[in-house]
Amino acid sequence: MSNVDISELETKREKINQQAEEHRYKRDELNMQARGWAQKRDELNATVRGFVSKAADHRLKRDELNMKVRESKGEREKWNRKVSDLGAKIEQVRRDSSQKVEGPPVERLKADRRALEHKQQTTALTPGKEKELIAQISAIERTIKDRERKAENDPRVKDLVAELKVSKETAEVAHKTVNESADAAQKEHDAMVALYENADKVRAEADEGQQKFLEFKALADEEHKKHVELIRQVHDYDKIIISIREKTKAEKKEKDEIDTKEQVEEIYKRLKAGEKLSTEDLMILQKAENM
């Protein structure tokens, strides 16, 4: 093959190598973009994990507060029952105490007062009769208050009233704890829900980042395949060119050896004929010895 043919091969080889470099450049650019999306995806996933972790903390606090709500409701119901029981006991003791006093019981007096008040409101009375009726109502009212005052002075009533006061206060504290804990639990729940919603939004962005990463990675892999295939062709051209050059070199060497051999034979002929050898002749003989 001539030098012109080798030059054509080298030109084709260079063109293919240039194409391979273009695909390598595109591959590297696409891989860089893929890495960018992968980094963004990882950052978003880290944000998601942060949201989920904080949401879990709020869920734990919410559950603890809900447990406190249930416990406080139990306490409140217990003390409310005690308040109800004590109220019934106090009324019973008051009735028992009032029955020991001469005259009708307080319940009967209250019923009489209601009857007189109804009569005053629904019956047309003369001024004198109405004044007399009002005096009766006032007398009954004084008697009721006197009876109730005496009942309140009963030591048993005093003790029960004091116990009732403590029970009401304790029930109120439990009720306040229920409301405060329920409000706090709701706030923890709302915070948890908001964090999970944020996590879902960011997770969607991370999924989009993953999709972009896969897209650019696939394009980069395709460019890499094209690059590798073209580099393989470049290597094939290199092998062909090297082979041609070695063959050309061998052919030239063989031709040089033949030419030198012919020259040596001619020199020896002239030497036998008694001719004097020139410097050039000596150099040819030396060259023949080194072959």
DSSP tag of 123:
S
Instruction: Please give the structure tokens belonging to residue 158.
Output: 């005093």
User: What residue segments make up the domains of the chain, in order of their start?
Assistant: 3-244, 245-273+276-282
Give the CA distances from residue 77 to residues 69, 73, 162, 212, 225, in Å, rounded to whole numbers and listed in that order: 12, 6, 19, 59, 76
Q: Phi first, then psi: what are they for 105, rounded to 5°?
A: -70, 165
Task: Convert the pLDDT of each residue in 223-267 to its tens digit.
Answer: 999 999 999 999 999 999 888 888 878 777 767 767 677 776 777
Rounded CA separation 244/58 (Å): 78
| Helix, strand, coil abundance in the chain, percent, nearest 5 | 95, 0, 5
Give the other-Cβ count within 10 Å of 109's Cβ: 18
Task: Convert the pLDDT of each residue in 178-188 to its tens digit.
Answer: 999 999 999 99
- CATH architecture of the domain covering 3-244: Orthogonal Bundle (1.10)
Q: What is the pLDDT of residue 19?
A: 96
Residue type, position 183, single letter: D
Mean pLDDT, rounded, for 17-23: 96
Give the other-Cβ count within 10 Å of 123's Cβ: 10
Q: What is the pLDDT of residue 167?
A: 94
Rounded CA separation 169/83 (Å): 10
Asked whether the CA dihedral 72, 75, 79, 81 is positive or negative, the reply is positive
Give the CA distances from residue 128 to residues 106, 122, 226, 270, 272, in Å, rounded to whole numbers and listed in that order: 28, 16, 124, 187, 190
Q: What is the pLDDT of residue 123?
A: 85
